[in-house]
Amino acid sequence: MRWLLKSAVQNLFGVVPNGHHLNRMLQRNLTSRLIPGHVQHLEKIHRVLADETHIAVEIGTGWCPTIPLGLTSKGIHVHTFDRTRHVTVDTLAASQAAVGGDWGMVHYHAPGDAAATGLPDGSVDLHFSIAVLEHVPREIIPLFFQEARRILRIGGILYHEIDLRDHFAEFDPSISSVNFLRFNDFTWKLLGQNKIHFHNRLRASDFTIILEQFGFEIVNLETRSDERGVAALKSMHIADRFKPYEDSDLATSVLTVTAKKR
């Protein structure tokens, strides 16, 4: 039950001053762990870019601005929004060492609100996020997509990869990627909802429904599941909130969606 210990520590960091930085100090080799994955995501984004892509908006910069920098190498100006200012001189240098790019073409809004960008209507060609939307409260996500619809041009690309797994499973191999589906909302709020760790537990279908509600045309949908999570669902108790979902939806660990503004 190592994950319960981590939950307790993060709950503590969530209420003490500078808790984000204390949590960061405990994560060794953060840039070396994050940047290779960012480079892979950058390659995937390059494959969905329209021929004429000049302006992009990112939700959730995080610690390493690798992807925004990589996009500037294609001549793209990137507005990246984060609620907390995480990028440092060191993480910027590490990201540039990996992908190059021009930080002067990156507009870093932190603290910033991706639901109220202030950008003109129809001025954006690409709207994206990587492993961010699972950390956003459910009621805020429609606001993000509403703003995306406003600022994207007709035919503009929306690309989001969403990590639907129980993130504690990365730390504790004794639990599966669907472990958090056992808990009702009250219990999960006590165990895993704070300023350091927040997971809305939305499933893949929840996100696609929201996108379709705002009139986006889904052009590609990729889902991944892990065998251990699929097996766990066959015997574990599922909280009432998740009983209406199909097992395949509950077992989906990663959702990658590409859509266009009609």
DSSP at 74 = T
Cα(100)–Cα(104) distance, integer angstroms: 12
Report the DSSP beta bridge partners of residue 223: 255
Give the per-residue pLDDT at 70.
98
Give the per-residue pLDDT at 14.
57
Dump pLDDT digits (tens) for 209-238. 999 999 999 999 999 998 899 999 999 999
Res. 53 pLDDT band, cuts 50 70 90: very high
* Stretch among 127-141, 144-158, 183-197 having the lowest mean pLDDT: 183-197
In terms of Cα–Cα distance, which of 206, 135, 141, 140 is closest to 167? Answer: 135
Give the three-state DSSP class for 171: coil
pTM of the predicted protein model: 0.91
Domain 2-261 is in which class?
Answer: alpha beta
- Does position 37 have pLDDT exceeding 60, yes or no? yes
Give the per-residue pLDDT at 193.
79
3-state percent helix, strand, coil for the chain, nearest multiple of 5 = 45, 20, 35
Sign of the C-alpha dihedral, residues 179, 207, 256, 35?
negative
Dump pLDDT digits (tens) for 101-134. 999 999 999 999 999 999 999 999 999 999 999 9
- Does position 7 have pLDDT exceeding 60, yes or no? no
Give the per-residue pLDDT at 50.
81
Sign of the C-alpha dihedral, residues 239, 243, 245, 246?
positive
Q: Which residue has the higher pLDDT, 1 or 256?
A: 256
Q: Which residue has the higher pLDDT, 196 or 125?
A: 125
Give the three-state DSSP class for 133: helix
User: DSSP of 48-66, one letter per residue?
Assistant: H--SS--EEEEE---S--H
The vertex-68 CA angle with 24 and 151, nearest 5°, equals 115
Domain parsing of the chain, residue ranges: 2-261
Average pLDDT score over the chain: 90
Res. 27 pLDDT band, cuts 50 70 90: low
First vs last Cα of the chain: how many Å apart? 47
Give the per-residue pLDDT at 11.
53
User: What is the Rg, in whole angstroms, of the alpha carbon atoms belonging to the chain?
Assistant: 18
